[in-house]
Amino acid sequence: MAEFLQQIINGVAWGSIYALIALGYTMVYGVLRLINFAHGDIYMIGAMVGYYSTRALGWSKDPNPFHFVVILLVSMIACALLGFLIERGAYRPLRARSKLTALITAIGVSLLLENGGQLIFGADPKFFPTLIVNRPIINTPTLVITNVQVIILVTAVLLMVALQLFVYRTRTGRAMRAVAFSHDASRLMGIDLDSVISVTFMVGSMLAAAGGVLVSLSNPKIDPLMGLLPGLKAFVAAVLGGIGNIPGAMLGGLILGVAETMVSGYLSSTYRDAIAFILLVVILLFRPAGLLGKAVPEKV
């Protein structure tokens, strides 16, 4: 029983990371109907920025919760900027073109970030300096919960709550929801489409960056390709919950994280990566709109 609980805890920790990345996917899809393949790599850049800024500030050997918060913020701001640039440079010129073109471009940006990262950062993995010393909070022979896990969970929840407030209680959030509903109607209502889309990208990137820093707390080995698989899995999580649906992304992330840990723990850890894709195929077969999504009938 305790082992089951342990797996659940691990799963929820991973799930919150997936949820943070999935939120970015779902928001961008809601607003642009585009799957931003490059999103997983923004998660990677977040981790890298965190790594380099920790070293630049001389905090590598100085674990401290305050340092953690600062690095988190630095990473989030840097990636917000990156998200803005990507949208401006690669996606905005293609807004009028076919979705296929945009999809291929997104793949191109993703590859560019990964391989450019390999060139710039070096392909070898780096070790994220410890910002928070990993100490168990609950330490029984069968159940261990570390402070890092709690911090990851709490931070992710705080960010998600902040996002909910932002999207449902602010004017910009309302504008985002309007744009997700209809571009043309929003423009007619006086909403500046370009800035709203930029803000969406920036917020999504900030969340992904936060995910990158959080994951580096418990898995300090980072490399330029670390965003590929989590990015794909987070996309699956977004689809699972209903793409375009914010609570759906959170739910999907949690489900995916727990499912992965369960399969990895009880069945076979080598099939861990396949779980996400099997879930994807299953959900697309039986409920393509996602768990919390509404099936939109195709209008001719």
Partner 1 sequence: MNPAEPASPRPPIAIDPAALSRGRGRFLLRAGIALLVLVALFGLNLLVKGISPYYQRILILAGISVTMAVSLNLINGYTGQFSIGHAGFMAIGAYTSAAISYYCGNLNKPGNDGIMLFLTSGGLQLPEGVAAVIFFAGVAYVGGVAASLAGLLVGIPTLRLKGDYLAIATLGFGEIIRVVILNLQFLGGARGLTDIPGTGAAHSVFENPFIWVAATALLTIVVSRNIVESTRGRAFLAVRDDEVAAESCGISTTRYKVTAFVVSAFFAGVAGALAAHYDSYLSPENFNFLKSIEIIVMVVLGGMGSLTGVTLAAVILTVLPESLRAFSQYRMVIYSALLIVLMLTRPQGLMGHRALKPRKPRSARVAA
Contact positions vs partner 1 (CB under 8 A):
33-35, 90, 93-94, 97-105, 107-112, 114-116, 118-119, 228, 232, 235-236, 239, 268, 270-271, 273-274, 276-278, 280-281, 284-285, 288, 298, 300
Cβ distance to partner 1 smaller for residue 129 or 293: 293
Cβ distance to partner 1 smaller for residue 75 or 105: 105
CB of 101 to partner 1, least distance (A): 5
CB of 232 to partner 1, least distance (A): 7
Cβ distance to partner 1 smaller for residue 76 or 113: 113
Cβ distance to partner 1 smaller for residue 99 or 294: 99
| Secondary structure of the chain as H, E, C letters | CHHHHHHHHHHHHHHHHHHHHHHHHHHHHHHHCCCCCCHHHHHHHHHHHHHHHHHHCCCCCCCCHHHHHHHHHHHHHHHHHHHHHHHHHHHHHHCCCCHHHHHHHHHHHHHHHHHHHHHHHCCCCEECCCCCCCCEEEECCCCEEEHHHHHHHHHHHHHHHHHHHHHHHCHHHHHHHHHHHCHHHHHHCCCCHHHHHHHHHHHHHHHHHHHHHHHHHHCCEECCCCCHHHHHHHHHHHHHHCCCCHHHHHHHHHHHHHHHHHHHHHHCHHHHHHHHHHHHHHHHHHCCCCCCCCCCCCCC
CB of 34 to partner 1, least distance (A): 8
CB of 161 to partner 1, least distance (A): 29
CB of 123 to partner 1, least distance (A): 9
